[in-house]
Homo-oligomer: A and B are copies of this chain.
Amino acid sequence: MTIRDVAAAAGVDISTVSKVLSGANISVRDATRARIEAAAASLNYRPNASARSLRMSRTGAFGMLVPDFTNPVYAEIVRGAVREAESRGRVILLAELDPSHSPAIYLRLVQERRIDGLLVATARSQSPILSLLETDEVPHVFINRRGTASSLSVVNDDEEGAAVGARALIEAGHRRLGIINGPPDIDTAQRRLAGFERAREQAGLPPAVVVSGAYSAGGGHSAARELLARPGERPTAVLVSNLTMALGALAAFAECGVAVPGDMSVVGFDDGELAAVAQPPLTCVAMPHDQMGAMAVELLESVLAGEPAASAVVPTPPTLVFRSSVAPPRI
């Protein structure tokens, strides 16, 4: 099933087959074209990717680096990217790369020329690959994190998302707000905090209680306990910066006898099936993570095509999914 077989079956030279099937502008009699196409179809021919890559210096593959497969947020980003890549005839080479991990896998992908470009969804700013990216000069796009000045990125409108969440609490009548945020060195956490504070200030509310923890259930759990332990008047409503954190926070509130939404209203970031079965069902700000992945593929593609490209924010607005974890404060 090589191009040679197709050429033999159609009675033409392999170069003709190549030009016809790749859509090059070559003048060929309709009859010849039809013979070639019929032969290719009947033999179930597809060009060998290795041969093609070698000749064209273009593999048709993107690499994707993700810090944690089991995090549903990244799962959605990966899904969006894989789907978009597929529709463009590309494939995705996936690797998990947490900060503690050696970048060996990354080096393999890039230096062996297995990929045309890299989608980088690792959030930490001190990740060792950041410097490698600069020196290797691989076309790349950051996802869910703004890159350095010279590099491109696609992010969600986290500021607006946090503002949407905060406004939901404010409109329910809360005046003492809190936020359980992600790690302060992570870009998304910074933007969410900024959006939250913007909404709070616009509403003329007093400073909020800010605590932070890891983007995980355990992180949300301990951050929530820290928030409850803070001296001073306790907030009546919190925004939690991530779904799994929010589930952890709900557990902490339950343990400490803080009723939700009676004593504490909660809005979580990132919607999902789990939010609906939380106890109580969790009001969430739904972020279009899959679109972020898809847009990153799109952006990387136009970089490779040499088209003008700029960092982007996913245009789909964050939406509030209202469930029963938010209620007016007790009087």
Contacts and interface: CB of A to CB of B under 8 A. Distances in A.
Interface of A: 1, 44, 46-51, 53-54, 59, 61, 69-70, 72, 75-76, 78-79, 82-83, 86, 89, 91-96, 104-105, 107-109, 111-114, 216-218, 220-221, 244, 247-248, 250-251, 254, 272-274, 276-279, 281
B96 A244 contact: no
B54 A50 contact: yes
Contacts of A48: 54, 112-113
A41 to B, nearest CB: 13
B111 A44 contact: yes
Contacts of A82: 69, 94-96
B50 A273 contact: no
A51 B279 CA distance: 56
A278 B255 CA distance: 11
Contact of A217 (B96, B108, B273): B273
Contacts of A50: 49-51, 53-54, 59, 113-114
Contacts of A91: 93, 95, 105, 108-109, 114
A76 B89 CA distance: 27
Contacts of A46: 107-108, 111-112
A45 to B, nearest CB: 8
Nearest to A109: B91
A53 B28 CA distance: 32
